[in-house]
Amino acid sequence: MNALKATLPTTFALLILAGCGGGSRSAAVDPPLASPEFPAPPVIGAQIDRQGRAAITTALIAPLGPLVAGTDQTRKDDYSEAARADWDEFFEEIRTAIAIYDGLDAQCGNQILAGAGIDEANVDTPARYGALAGALTDDRLYLRADSGACSQYFAVELAATGLIPALGGDCGGRTPLYDTINVSYTALSNDLSIPVGDGIVRDDNLNHSIDLFPFLAPVVP
């Protein structure tokens, strides 16, 4: 996508020149692309963020940062800027954080994927949070581009892990209709059976669009 964006200014300029010139090109009206009038496309710079899941950086990376000087925003920036090959460096930190969130409802072990893939001897150890930590460490926005049905945030992940196989045909992704923060908090605290909200309900009566840019409902005074 970034490479496509980088070529758009040059491509658009060529289309304009070809259209205005009736299909023929002349050196007199078509300056070289390297000239000041047509600078080279910009070079993609350093990564500063990624399009991932809602609340992961905020809730799971340095969650106690404000209480520990110098660790909060610096660590979150490290996470946002990390190359894909370095994501595993955050696994232990995420696993520790989700173990804390598992106790939000005063019940430990009822978080989604808690204990998945481990033996009974390790059910009460940090290992039981490994499956969810692994899924969240791979912090990318997954969606099914061949699906026209979009009804559930985390749908692709829930189907792939076998938690809700019926969602296998859902596009997942992240539409404006999903309350992504509430879903994230619920998944971190239990098995999705007890909704956990952030207390914000202002969008409940607004009709956002999923096909008309910019996809948001009109502003309500």
- Separation CA 113–CA 18 (nearest Å): 57
Lowest-confidence pick of 53-57, 61-65, 180-184: 61-65
Q: Where are the domains of the chain?
A: 1-45, 56-189
pLDDT in tens, 91-110: 999 999 999 999 888 888 88
Please tell me the predicted confidence (pLDDT) of residue 60. 92
- Separation CA 193–CA 164 (nearest Å): 12
Helix pair 180-189, 91-101: axis angle to 10 deg = 80
pLDDT tier at 221, thresholds 50, 70, 90: low
Q: Is the pLDDT of residue 71 over 60?
A: no
Angle at 158 between CA 156 and CA 159, to 5 degrees: 65
For tokens 């699906």, name the residue: 147
pLDDT tier at 220, thresholds 50, 70, 90: low
Q: Could you give the percent of the chain with pLDDT greater than 90?
A: 21
User: Average pLDDT of 175-204?
Assistant: 84
**Model pTM score:** 0.71
Please tell me the predicted confidence (pLDDT) of residue 96. 92
- Separation CA 186–CA 178 (nearest Å): 13
| Pair 110, 96: CB distance under 8 Å | no
Q: How far is CA 169 from CA 139, 150, 211, in A?
A: 21, 9, 19
